[in-house]
Amino acid sequence: MGINHSKGTFTPEIAEIQRETGFTLEQIFRLQKRFSTYDRDNDNFLRRDDFLVQPTLATNPLSNSIINLMFSGDDKPLDQITFKQFTLVLSRFLPENTQNCSHLNSSEEKLKFLFKLFDKDCDGYVSQGDLNSVLTMLIGSQVPVEQLDKIVDQTIGEADSDQDGKVSFSEFSKIMAKVDINKKMTLHF
């Protein structure tokens, strides 16, 4: 079932997206417009390349990681995503306390999404290499390598409560409890 991209058209698929994501109809229609803008082939699918040409993503050091998460399937990476898949990922950035709250925009889901950004090798842990990779993307050459290594060692040391040299999701959650994740990972659609 395809999406009717004309503004304001309510379909069963739109109702399903609204129910699953917590987006309001107005937000869904705005996202449809954004999706259509990104969909350069006009085939109702987005591919990685559709995102990489967007100026706002081109300047974000984590854009490639975020795009990879958008295209991560259950078993293997996806080549393309539908409008519904697009909204499911973006719903994690809705405030948790909205009237149409979905499990996808809970603090737990926001933490899982953030954890996946740090878990570069997708092994279920944030290792020193994972953290070093993310920090290098974020701060680049602004910090000397030796100082970056110290930051990574200290951060892993503080978070790694079981002393196995890596940070599990549980350990990550404990460290992130100090952060208002709902506020930090909320976008206004």
From the CB of residue 91, how many other CB atoms can be counted at a distance below 10 Å?
A: 22
The CATH number of 107-189, from 1.10.238.10, 3.40.30.10, 3.90.930.60, 3.40.50.10320, is 1.10.238.10
- Phi/psi-derived region of residue 19, left when phi > 0, alpha when psi is between -120 and 50, beta in every other case: alpha
Dist CA 101 CA 164 (whole Å): 37
11-105 and 107-189 in the same fold: yes
CA 150 to centroid of chain Cα atoms: 27
Residue with tokens 């990685």: 48
Q: Name the pTM for this structure.
A: 0.80
**How high does pLDDT run on average in the chain?**
86
- For the packed helices 63-70 and 107-118, what is the interaxial angle rounded to 10 degrees? 120
Domain boundaries, the chain: 11-105, 107-189
End-to-end CA, the chain: 24
11-105 has CATH 3.40.50.720 classification: no
Reply yes or no on whether the pLDDT at 177 is more than 60: yes
Does 5 have pLDDT greater than 50?
A: no
- pLDDT over 90, % of the chain: 46
Identify the band that residue 7 occupies on the pLDDT scale cut at 50, 70 and 90. low
**What pLDDT was estimated at residue 102?**
64
Number of Cβ within a 10 Å radius of residue 66: 15
Query: Is the model's pLDDT at 98 over the cut of 70?
Result: no
pLDDT band at 49 (very low <50, low <70, confident <90, very high): confident
